Structure 1
Amino acid sequence: MDAIRWGILGAGGIAATVSADITALPGHVLHAVGARDADRAAAFAHRHGVHRSYGSYLELVTDPGVDVVYIATTHAQHQEHALLALRAGKPVLVEKAFTLNAAQARDVVAEARLRRLFCMEAMWVRFHPLIREVSRLLADGAIGKVVAVRADLSKRFDFDPAHRLFDLDAGGGALLDLGVYPAAVVWTWLGRPDTVQATGALAPTGSDLSVGMQWGYPDGRFAQIHTSAATDSPFAALITGTRGWISLEPRLHRGRRLVVHTADGDVEHLAPAIAGNGYRAELEEVARCLAAGELESPAVPLDDTIGILDVLDDARRQLGARYPAD
C-alpha cells in the first residue's frame, strides 16, 4: 500500500497524542475518526487534520478507506471496540491495557486469528531504545546470569471517584493504567513467572491503588514490581546479575539513561532523542507487519499480552479488586 490510512476509534486525549505522531510519519495518513458524538468527532478531525469524521464507531470501521483501526477508548471498552473493527475486516492496534482481563483478551485474539487479521497491543514501551538496549545487553551476558529485577512506575492522582483511574466500570486501577508497563518490561526480560504474590491497598471505590508484586521463577530468579496511583516515584528498574547490574533511570516508560556496572567499571548509555510523543516506533512496526503480511508483531506477541493480563488478574484477585466484567 502507498500509505497506511488510519481510522481512530475514540476522540479523547490518547487519541490526540497518538494522532500527532501518525501525522508526522511519512506514509501514514489520518483518514477518519469516529466518536459517539458527531460534533466531538468533527472537532477532533478539524484539530488534527483528519479527512473524515463519524458520529458512530460502526461508520468508522466500515469505511472502505480505513486500512487499520487504532482503538483509543478506555480499557473497559477495548474488547467491544476491537471486536467491532475485526468483524468489519479491519486490522487493529489496541491501546494498552489491551482489555480488562485475560478472558477478554483471549476473545479478541481468537477473533483476530480466526479472521487472519493483524492485531497488536499498543505497548510502546517495548520499543523504547533503552528497553531494547537492556534486552540486548542481557542476551549478550553483560552482567552474567540475571538474579533479580526490580521495576516501578507510579504516579500520584488526587482521589476522585468519577476519575477513570478510580472507576471500576471504566477499568480503573493502578495495575492497568501504570503497572502494565513494568509488568510488560519484566516479562520481556524474564518471561512468564511461575508464582505471583501480590499485596497492596485499594481506593475507596475498590480499585487497586498501590500494588506490590513478587514474581518467582523455577530457577530461583525473582522480580519485584511496584505501581501506585497514590504516590510519585523516580525509580525505574534495576537488573542484578551474577557479574554486575544494570540501572535504568529516571522513570521506566521515559528512560533517559542506563548504566551497566561490572568489575571493569561503569558504562553509561544515553537514550537518543525520541521524536514526537514516543509512539512512532510502534506505528512503524504496524506498518512493517502490514506490508509483510504478518498477523502479529514479534516485538509484542499476542500470547505475551494475554499472559501478562493473566498475571494482573491474579494480582487483582489477591487484592480483592474486581471489575463488573470479571
Structure 2
Amino acid sequence: MSAPDVGWGILATGKIAHTFARDLALVADARLAAVGSRRLDSARAFAAEHGDEATRAHGSYEDLLADDAVDVVYIATPHAFHLDNARAAFAAGKHVLCEKPLTLDTADAAEMVRLAGEHDRFLMEAMWMACHPVVRELRAELASGRFGAPRQLQAQLGFRVDDGPGSRMLDPALGASALLDMGVYPLTFAHLMLGPAERLTAAATLSDRGIDLDVAIAGRYAGGALAALNASMTSWSSQDAAIATDLGRIDVGPAFHHPERAVFTPYEPMRGPQPDRAVTLTGAEPVIGQGYGNEIAEVNRCLREGLRESPLIPHAQTLAVLGQMDDLRRQVGVAFPGERPTPG
C-alpha cells in the first residue's frame, strides 16, 4: 500500500507562490491541501487555479496553519516576515519550507533553526538551486577531481527592477536588497562548489533609501580559489557561471541557478581548448517543472524518512551564507530598520 500524498499548505499568494504551485502539481506524491492569504478572495482564486476540489482556501495564515490536512507549509511572504510565520507554523505542528533568504540576518535564522528543533519539525530554506539535478551532478563531479582543481569561479545574477517604491523589492522595511534577493544565488553557488568562504569583500551602489541596488563581491576560498560574484537590480546580467580549473573550464547555464547544462572543456598547454573532448552534464534525474519540483520532492523524501533537515540544504549551509551576507551588508553600509549601519 502506497503512502498518502504529502499535504502542502502555501502561505501567501504572491508571484513566487504561483510558480511554486505550478511545480507542486507535477510532483507525484504531493498535493496542494490548502492555501492561506490575508484576503479570502485571493486564497480562493489561488486554490481554484492551482488546486483541486479538496483544496481549502483560508482568509488568514492562522486558519491555514490550523488545517489538519496540511503537513508542511511553504512560506512565500517577504523576508522580514519569515521568522514570525515559521514560529507560528512550528507551534501549529507543521513542517516548514521557507523562501530564501531564510531571514534578514543570521541571528533570526539561528532562532528559526532553534524553534524547529524545539518543536521537532523539519525546516529547509527554499534554495531550489541546490536541489537542481545539473547543479548536484556538477558539485559531485567537481568534488571528485574529475575536472581538476577549481581556481577561479564567476557567477552573476541581475535583472532590472522597475517596480514602484512600495514594492517588496525596493522597500527596506520588507528586506529589499540585491544581495538578499539575487546575491544569495552566486554566494550559495560558490559555497556549493568551493566550500565555505575564507574572506569576502564587497562594493555596492545604494539607493536613496539605503538599499543595495548593485553589488560586486570578491571572495577567497579554501586552497586559494577565488570568486567574482555579482548581483544587480538595475541591469541585465548574463546569469551564467563559469569555473576555471587547472585542467580546463566549466560553463554553467543558461541561468546558472537553474541551468540546462554544465560543460567542461579541457585545455592543453600550447594547444588551448579541446572541444572534441568536452563533457556535458545534464543531471542524473529529470528537472521537475522549472526546478522547484525538485526541492518539493526533496522535502517529501526527507519527511518520509523522518529527517529534520536536508543533506542538500543543511542548516549549517544556510546559516553560513546568511553570515556572509550580514558581513557584506556591514561592509557596504546597508542596514534594515532597527539595525545600525556599520560600513567597513
TM-score (norm 1): 0.95
Q: Distance in 1 between matches of 2:144 and 2:290?
A: 30
Deviation at residue 158 of structure 1 after TM alignment: 2.4
Q: Is the 8 A contact 1:143 1:240 kept in 2?
A: no
Deviation at residue 268 of structure 1 after TM alignment: 4.3
Supply the AA of the counterpart residue of 1:36.
R
Q: 1:293 aligns with which of 297, 306, 309?
A: 306
The match for 1:83 is: 87
Supply the AA of the counterpart residue of 1:24.
L
The match for 1:37 is: 39
- When the two chains are superposed, the root-mean-square deviation of aligned CA atoms in Å is 1.7
Where does 1:1-326 land on structure 2 (aligned, <5 Å)?
1-49=3-51, 51-158=55-162, 160-217=164-221, 219-263=223-267, 265-266=274-275, 267-269=278-280, 271=282, 274-326=287-339
Q: Distance in 2 between matches of 1:102 and 1:84?
A: 19
Q: Distance in 1 between matches of 2:165 and 2:84?
A: 24
Deviation at residue 270 of structure 1 after TM alignment: 5.7
Q: Which moved more, 1:298-307 or 1:233-242?
A: 233-242
Q: Distance in 2 between matches of 1:6 and 1:49?
A: 11
C-alpha distance after superposition, 1:285-313 (max 9, x if no partner): 01100000010000001111011011011
Q: Distance in 2 between matches of 1:271 and 1:218?
A: 27
Deviation at residue 256 of structure 1 after TM alignment: 2.3
Q: Distance in 2 between matches of 1:322 and 1:251?
A: 29
Report the CA distance shift for 1:257/1:26 in structure 2 as closer, same or farther (over 3 A): closer
Q: Distance in 2 between matches of 1:28 and 1:275?
A: 13
Supply the AA of the counterpart residue of 2:312.
A
Report the CA distance shift for 1:84/1:153 in structure 2 as closer, same or farther (over 3 A): same
The alignment partner of 2:250 has SS state of strand
Q: Is the 8 A contact 1:161 1:205 kept in 2?
A: no
Q: Distance in 2 between matches of 1:251 and 1:65?
A: 36
Unaligned runs of 5+ in 1: none
Q: Which moved more, 1:308-317 or 1:190-199?
A: 190-199
Deviation at residue 234 of structure 1 after TM alignment: 1.1
The alignment partner of 1:321 has SS state of coil
The alignment partner of 1:195 has SS state of strand
Q: Which moved more, 1:190-199 or 1:215-224?
A: 215-224
Deviation at residue 180 of structure 1 after TM alignment: 0.7
Deviation at residue 169 of structure 1 after TM alignment: 0.8
Deviation at residue 325 of structure 1 after TM alignment: 4.7
Supply the AA of the counterpart residue of 1:23.
A
The alignment partner of 1:194 has SS state of strand
C-alpha distance after superposition, 1:173-210 (max 9, x if no partner): 11111111111111111122121111010122211101
Supply the AA of the counterpart residue of 2:115.
E
Q: Distance in 1 between matches of 2:315 and 2:40?
A: 33
C-alpha distance after superposition, 1:46-81 (max 9, x if no partner): 222251111111111121221111101111111110
Q: Where in structure 1 do 4 or more consecutive aligned residues deviate above 6 Å?
A: none
Q: Distance in 1 between matches of 2:239 and 2:75?
A: 30
Q: Distance in 2 between matches of 1:241 and 1:308?
A: 23
The sequence identity of aligned pairs, in percent, is: 39
Supply the AA of the counterpart residue of 1:43.
A
Q: Distance in 2 between matches of 1:52 and 1:235?
A: 38
Q: Is the 8 A contact 1:171 1:323 kept in 2?
A: yes
Report the CA distance shift for 1:159/1:13 in structure 2 as closer, same or farther (over 3 A): closer
Supply the AA of the counterpart residue of 2:47.
A
The alignment partner of 2:223 has SS state of coil
Supply the AA of the counterpart residue of 2:113.
V
Q: Distance in 1 between matches of 2:37 and 2:255?
A: 33
Q: Distance in 2 between matches of 1:159 and 1:33?
A: 26
Q: Distance in 1 between matches of 2:338 and 2:242?
A: 35
